[in-house]
Amino acid sequence: MILCDLCSQPRECVPKNIEGKEYDICAECWKPLAEKLKGKGRALKAREMVFLPPTVTPEPKHEEPKPVPGEPPKIWGRGGRTQ
């Protein structure tokens, strides 16, 4: 026999976890409390998969290497003859 945390009577109590705390509550006290709490709190939702958009990594720009100091720069032409 355990003392009920609600009515303080020595009865057969069941440990109940409410908001992270454990209470010893007898069946006579639990029924009205359960009816009062029915429909309260957060609704249980089915877990859903959420797909995030893929991360877009910018492609590295292909840049021509800069000339080393002391070397002449490369000059690129059109490659064709113009008249």
Residues 6+ apart with CB under 8 A from 69: none
List residues bridging with 3 in a β-sheet.
Answer: 10
Tens digits of residue pLDDT in 9-53:
898 998 988 888 899 999 898 888 888 888 777 777 788 888 988
Write phi, then psi, for 27 (nearest 5 degrees): -65, -35
Tens digits of residue pLDDT in 50-77:
898 888 887 777 776 777 788 877 777 7
Residues 6+ apart with CB under 8 A from 28: 7, 11
* pTM of structure: 0.42
Q: Distance of CA 81 to CAs 15, 23, 74, Å?
A: 94, 94, 19
Q: 3-class SS at 24?
A: strand
